[in-house]
C-alpha cells in the first residue's frame, strides 16, 4: 500500500503525533450527557482512533472503548498509552470495515480522522455496529487561519511548503456538508474553544505531526511567496523573550447523529 494512502500517511509521524497533537475540549462529554442522551457506561467504538487521543477522553470518563485503527504504528502507540485502562481494547479495522459485531456498541465516535473516510460506506457500517437508538458522534479540532499575523503566516507556510496541504484541507466538511450527510438524523451541533500552548519546538513538532508537512530529511520545494511566512514566524520568535509559548487555538465542532434503524 502506498505511503500516501490515508491509512499509511502517519506511519512515520507517530512520535510527533503522540507528543504534540492537542486533545479535545473538556466540555464535549458534559454536552453529550446533558443534551444528547449519552449515558455512563455506554460502550464506545472510536473509529480512526489513531494514537488514542480521543479514546482517552472516553476512557477517563469510565466508558469502555474499542479503538478501531488500520495503521499498525498508530494503533501500537494507542495500545502502549492506554493498555492500563481495563475497559480499553484495540482492533485492526477501518472506518468502512470495523470488524465489530452487529449491534455491539452504544456510541460510534469519530474525531480528527473523519475527513479521510468514505462517507457513504461509513454510514452503512456504523449503522450496522450500533445498537438500536445508538449515537454517532463526530468531532474535530479546526484551526483558525485568519485573525493574527501568526495565524495567517502559519497558514501561508502550509500552503507554500505543504506537499498536498490544499487538497487535504478541502477534505474537511463544513457545517452545511455535515447537515446534508446526517440528514434527518442530526440531533445537535456545538462548538467549544480549545487551545494549545506551544513553545517554538512544540510548534515545530505540531507541524511535523501533519501528513502534508515535508519531513526534515527532505527539503521542501517552495511554492508561491515562499519566504514571507517563514519571515513572519522567525520575526515573531525574535520578539518573544526566552522560551515563548504560542497560543494555538482550535475550534472543536461536535455534530451528532442518532441512527434509527
What pLDDT does 53 receive? 94
What pLDDT does 18 receive? 83
What pLDDT does 242 receive? 46
Grid coordinates belonging to 228: 514571507
| Any domain includes 111 | yes
| Any domain includes 6 | no
Grid coordinates belonging to 51: 494514537
Q: Whose CA is closest to 252, among 10, 15, 57?
A: 57
Q: Could you list the residue range(s) of the whole structural domain that residue 172 is in?
A: 14-258
| Any domain includes 9 | no
Tens digit of each residue's pLDDT (9 = 90 or more) over 84-126: 999 999 999 999 999 999 999 999 999 988 888 898 899 999 9
What pLDDT does 239 receive? 44
| Any domain includes 4 | no
What pLDDT does 151 receive? 87
Say how many domains are in the chain.
Answer: 1
CA distances from 59 to 89, 156, 260 (A): 11, 37, 26
Residues of the chain short of pLDDT 50, as ranges, are 1-3, 224-244, 251, 253-261
Long-range contacts: 81-89, Cβ < 8 Å, 24+? Answer: 81/18, 81/51, 81/52, 81/56, 82/52, 82/55, 82/56, 85/59, 87/59, 87/62, 87/63, 88/55, 88/59, 88/64, 89/65
| Any domain includes 8 | no
| Any domain includes 204 | yes
CATH number at residue 136: 3.40.50.150
| Any domain includes 82 | yes
Q: Whose CA is closest to 112, among 191, 210, 41?
A: 210
| Any domain includes 3 | no
What pLDDT does 209 receive? 83
CA distances from 14 to 10, 36, 73 (A): 6, 33, 7
What pLDDT does 7 receive? 57
Amino acid at each position: 500500500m502506498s505511503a500516501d494512502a490515508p491509512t499509511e500517511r502517519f506511519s512515520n509521524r507517530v512520535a510527533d503525533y503522540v507528543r504534540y497533537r492537542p486533545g479535545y475540549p473538556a466540555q464535549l462529554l458534559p454536552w453529550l450527557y446533558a443534551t444528547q442522551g449519552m449515558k455512563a457506561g455506554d460502550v464506545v467504538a472510536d473509529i480512526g482512533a489513531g494514537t488514542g487521543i480521543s479514546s482517552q477522553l472516553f476512557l477517563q470518563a469510565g466508558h469502555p472503548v474499542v479503538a478501531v485503527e488500520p495503521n499498525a504504528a498508530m494503533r501500537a502507540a494507542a495500545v502502549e498509552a492506554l493498555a492500563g485502562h481495563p475497559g480499553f481494547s484495540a482492533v485492526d479495522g477501518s472506518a468502512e470495515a470495523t470488524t465489530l459485531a452487529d449491534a455491539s456498541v452504544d456510541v460510534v465516535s469519530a474525531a480528527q480522522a473523519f475527513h479521510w473516510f468514505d462517507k457513504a460506506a461509513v454510514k452503512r457500517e456504523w449503522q450496522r455496529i450500533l445498537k438500536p437508538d445508538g449515537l454517532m458522534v463526530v468531532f474535530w479540532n479546526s484551526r483558525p487561519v485568519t485573525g493574527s499575523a501568526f495565524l495567517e503566516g502559519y497558514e501561508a507556510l502550509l500552503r507554500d511548503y505543504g506537499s498536498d496541504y490544499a487538497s487535504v484541507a478541502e477534505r474537511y466538511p463544513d457545517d452545511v456538508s455535515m447537515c446534508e450527510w446526517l440528514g434527518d438524523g442530526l440531533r445537535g451541533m456545538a462548538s467549544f474553544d480549545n487551545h494549545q500552548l506551544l513553545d517554538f519546538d512544540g510548534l515545530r513538532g505540531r507541524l511535523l505531526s501533519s501528513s502534508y508537512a515535508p519531513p526534515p530529511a527532505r527539503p521542501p520545494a517552495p511554492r508561491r511567496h515562499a519566504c514571507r511566512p517563514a519571515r513572519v514566524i522567525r520575526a515573531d520568535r525574535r520578539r518573544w523573550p526566552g522560551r515563548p509559548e504560542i497560543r494555538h487555538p482550535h475550534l472543536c465542532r461536535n455534530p451528532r447523529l442518532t441512527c434509527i434503524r
